[in-house]
């Protein structure tokens, strides 16, 4: 048993360590990827449920009909938006447009509400 034998054993052990490490790293990569998808789906479902709850409370407070999309449809949209946000660092163009339109609509409603209250406060009581 010469030095060639020990060199072959050490070489085999080194190759085994490298192969084991590569397999472990690949497994960790797939595990992280699966956890990320699971977390995105979980948060998308939470956002969908929250939006539905807000819509239902709004309907209760205003007495108006509020049409709500299905939670699964909302969750799918939120999932895609969150995935794009994580992958690209920004919301998809369509989501930006929807958010901007929604914001403008809310600001206009708030302005109308304030001006309406201001007119009511400025009215003199009838004689």
Cβ-based neighbours of 58, under 8 Å, separated by 6 or more: 64, 66
| Cβ atoms 60, 33 nearer than 8 A | no
CA 88 to chain centre: 13
Write down the domain spans for the chain. 3-91, 93-127
In 3D space, the residue among 78, 8, 15 whose CA is nearest the CA of residue 45 turns out to be 78
Residue 88's pLDDT is 94
Cβ-based neighbours of 92, under 8 Å, separated by 6 or more: 80, 81, 84
In 3D space, the residue among 96, 74, 68 whose CA is nearest the CA of residue 84 turns out to be 96
pTM of the model: 0.68
In 3D space, the residue among 81, 82, 78, 74 whose CA is nearest the CA of residue 52 turns out to be 74
CA 110 to chain centre: 27
Residue 14's pLDDT is 93
Q: pLDDT digit of tens for each residue in the chain (127 aa)?
A: 678 888 889 999 999 999 999 999 999 999 999 999 999 999 999 999 999 999 999 999 999 898 999 999 999 999 999 999 999 999 999 999 988 998 898 898 888 887 766 555 555 544 4
Residue 28's pLDDT is 96
Place of tokens 């999309």: 69
């Amino acid at each position: 048993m010469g030095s060639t034998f020990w060199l072959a054993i050490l070489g085999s052990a080194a190759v085994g360590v490298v192969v084991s490490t590569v397999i472990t790293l690949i497994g960790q990569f797939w595990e992280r990827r699966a956890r990320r998808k699971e977390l995105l789906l979980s948060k998308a479902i939470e956002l969908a449920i929250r939006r539905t709850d807000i819509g239902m409370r709004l309907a209760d407070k205003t007495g108006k009909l509020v049409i709500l999309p299905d939670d699964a449809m909302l969750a799918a949209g939120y999932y895609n938006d969150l995935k794009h946000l994580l992958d690209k660092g920004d919301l998809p163009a369509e989501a930006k447009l929807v958010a901007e339109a929604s914001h403008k609509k809310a600001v206009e409603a708030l302005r109308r509400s304030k001006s309406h209250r201001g007119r009511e406060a400025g009215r003199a009581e009838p004689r």
